[in-house]
Structure 1
Amino acid sequence: MHSIRDHLPVSIIIANYNYARFLSRAIDSALDQDYAKVEVIVVDDASTDGSAEVIASYGGRIKARLREENGGHAAAFNTGFAASRGAIVLFLDADDYLYPAAVSELLAQWSDDTAQMQFRLHLVDEDLRVKDIFPPPEVPFDSGDVTPQLARRARYQTTVTSGLAFARSALDVIMPVPEAEFRQGADGYLVTLAPLYGKVTSLEACLGAYRMHGSNHSVFAEKLGQRARWRVEHDFHRLHALNEQAADVGLSVSPKANLRDPVHLEERLASLCVDGGRHPVAADSRLGLAAHGAVASMQMNVSLRRRAMLAAWFVSVGLLPRRMAQAVLSWKLVASSRPAFLTRISRTIRHAMG
């Protein structure tokens, strides 16, 4: 007997900007799904490389939307969503790709009250060699009704763009994504607001690949302060959007939500420590942020050992001399900056705590 889910139309929206060298792999992965009712929409955000030619080569097999002006992540999402018709929508970054059974596997677990589904991804290098899993298996996803986590700390454990699928019913309420505030990181807006309109379902299987390379927005190790400052401001934009939307569903969000979120506090400490002159919160102090971080760490949904280690990390960054604190920050937030012995220790601890 076939489930009603076997007949749901699915849209895969590929957002591209100057990723011509990766784009075919992403498009092919969407077209090669073993589920029949998939439409593939490719949005090019005014690329200056050969992306337009790559897109044209697919002819009528895809819906192509070529933007005349570069608008960023949110603009590409909005353009693609406006062209889509699927009851379930996936946003796929053009440098990532899905495995052939991705859509059929998520449909097998989809339920009527699902607003968002999330799954793990293989972390691969430019040669498609699997290096790891993202998020790491020892970090449990948050599932079901995650509004308590959103209300308390404005975050829950989720993943990146290419590991997400959304119910159109939820997106219809929260789209379009504000384009100025979410020029980068539009997925942060979606994962913050979609769970207000249904449950989050998490799959442990890796249904695609998240490609790491030198031009990822998330990879600019030499600009740690810039990255941290952007992430802090991005969190403020997410919290603002959450506050605006939460009122519509009767949810009260803590005014101290960011100060209860270890992820936010890591980046806020990095911004203050590395580039204090441009830090966006003038009243912040290292010791104050570290104290908030230590308390927040002990309330995470991970093993006691992992919570204790993160709390100790916060305390050390708060108390060490600034130069040493900067090194400790960098070692945690930018893997490539770690001395080899620390990398080995980190792997050993990770496996022991997994």
Structure 2
Amino acid sequence: MYSIQDHVPVSIVIANYNYARFLRRSIDSALGQTYDDAEVIVVDDASTDGTADVIASYGSRIKPCLREVNGGHAAAFNTGFASSSGEIVLFLDADDYLYPNAVSDVVDAWEENTAQVQFRLHIVDEQMHVKDVFPPAELPFDSGDVTSKLLRKGRYQTTVTSGLAFKRSVLNSVMPVPEQNFRQGADGYLATVAPLHGEVTSIEECLGAYRIHGANHSVFAEKLGQRARWRIEHDFRRLEALSDQATEVGLEVPDDAGLHDPVHIEERLASLCIDRERHPVASDSRLSLAAAGAVASLEMNASRRRRAMLAAWFLSVGILPHQMAKAVLSWKLVASSRPQFLLRLSKAIRHAVG
């Protein structure tokens, strides 16, 4: 672990695009850290709202990076990292915020072989009311050497941008983030390739807030097919990047890695059921995906009850008539579509396994 005496310099890179209404809370949270050696870098990706005024109001307390042309998530990460100097780097989305102890807790948890620290976040609404925890507490983080999981299925249990911190030397090995492939979801790239260069250290406490609102890229429940297709393509780009990085360190990712990942299979099923004509994998069938999903579910790091229920869900989507399968699918992916009895059952299960 790093000690207080080490005075490890930390950089917090805030990536912003048209989030002026949220940005001040994010910057204040970064400036308000109890850790006294954290620089705050704010990257504005050519916003067209009032962001410039918000940034200007902080003067020399922050380091602004104002991009003239919008480049997306990866470009903002690359710009901010190039301007940073910390040995530990946190990337914070501008609609999210950190709790005052976040950086101190990350530094305290850091081990000699740590490449990445991950921590849970409270899910909050636009008014910052806490709604839930992400990832859910009943899903254990994967920690330590996660290489075997990455090579087998291209994923391990991690979190989103604002719950991640990276070792600078590791980022030097994997950055810049490919900007065309990761205009959105640059955190997915970093969290996928960074663990090839060290271990993952997990903190179970919530050290910040992940704000869910109507403008999030991840929130377009009324367009499930579109969301599923984007996530499938994003997974394919992640797997390609993982394969490239793995090759550099003498490892190999199997061609069928995605078919061992329940999260990826779920998106493939959603895309296929909702809009077969636009589904990006022509060879997929509901039954084959459902079978793969059931097997992958039983191999998850989760409670036996959760694994069994997810496996049953996959099989039901695979074998039910198409309209019924779509209904069962939407019940899982869109909470607002669930009948009341399912909402009560879901809460009871989470309470039982939490």
The TM-score normalised by the length of structure 2 is 0.98
Secondary structure of residue in 2 paired with 1:18? coil
Secondary structure of residue in 1 paired with 2:347? helix
Superposition deviation, residue 336 in structure 1: 2.2
Distance in 2 between the 1:235 and 1:320 partners? 27
Deviations 1:269-290 (A, max 9, x none): 0011111111110111111100
Superposition deviation, residue 337 in structure 1: 2.1
Are 1:203 and 2:203 counterparts?
yes
Moved more, 244-253 or 8-17: 244-253
Partner AA of 1:283 in structure 2: S
Secondary structure of residue in 2 paired with 1:44? strand
Partner of 2:181: 181
Structure 1 runs (4+) greater than 6 angstroms displaced: none
Structure 1 residues 90 and 118: CA distance shift in structure 2, 3 A: same
Aligned residues between the structures:
353
Deviations 1:222-267 (A, max 9, x none): 1000000000000000000011010111222122110000000000
Q: What is the percentage of aligned positions where both structures have the same residue?
A: 74
The correspondence of residues 82-93 of structure 1 with structure 2, limited to 5 A, is 82-93=82-93
Secondary structure of residue in 1 paired with 2:255? coil
Are 1:27 and 2:57 counterparts?
no
Superposition deviation, residue 340 in structure 1: 2.6
Partner AA of 1:76 in structure 2: A
Secondary structure of residue in 1 paired with 2:119? strand
Partner of 1:109: 109
Distance in 1 between the 2:205 and 2:303 partners? 21
Distance in 2 between the 1:35 and 1:81 partners? 20
- The answer to whether the 8 A contact 1:5-1:110 is kept is no
Distance in 1 between the 2:336 and 2:187 partners? 25
- The answer to whether the 8 A contact 1:9-1:87 is kept is yes
Distance in 1 between the 2:337 and 2:80 partners? 37
Distance in 2 between the 1:336 and 1:93 partners? 26
Partner of 2:300: 300
The correspondence of residues 37-56 of structure 1 with structure 2, limited to 5 A, is 37-56=37-56
Partner of 2:271: 271
Superposition deviation, residue 49 in structure 1: 0.7
- The answer to whether the 8 A contact 1:6-1:107 is kept is no
Partner of 1:120: 120
Superposition deviation, residue 168 in structure 1: 0.4
Partner AA of 1:129 in structure 2: H
Unaligned runs of 5+ in 1: none
Superposition deviation, residue 6 in structure 1: 4.0
Partner of 2:14: 14
Secondary structure of residue in 2 paired with 1:284? coil
Distance in 1 between the 2:5 and 2:23 partners? 29
Superposition deviation, residue 342 in structure 1: 1.5
Structure 1 residues 81 and 349: CA distance shift in structure 2, 3 A: same
Structure 1 residues 5 and 321: CA distance shift in structure 2, 3 A: farther
Partner of 1:171: 171
Distance in 1 between the 2:80 and 2:276 partners? 38
Distance in 2 between the 1:268 and 1:23 partners? 35
- The answer to whether the 8 A contact 1:144-1:199 is kept is yes
Deviations 1:122-151 (A, max 9, x none): 111111111111111110000000000001
Deviations 1:42-89 (A, max 9, x none): 001111110111011111110101111111110100110010000000
The TM-score normalised by the length of structure 1 is 0.98
Distance in 2 between the 1:281 and 1:231 partners? 13
Partner of 2:282: 282
Distance in 2 between the 1:278 and 1:91 partners? 33
Unaligned runs of 5+ in 2: none
Partner AA of 1:315 in structure 2: L
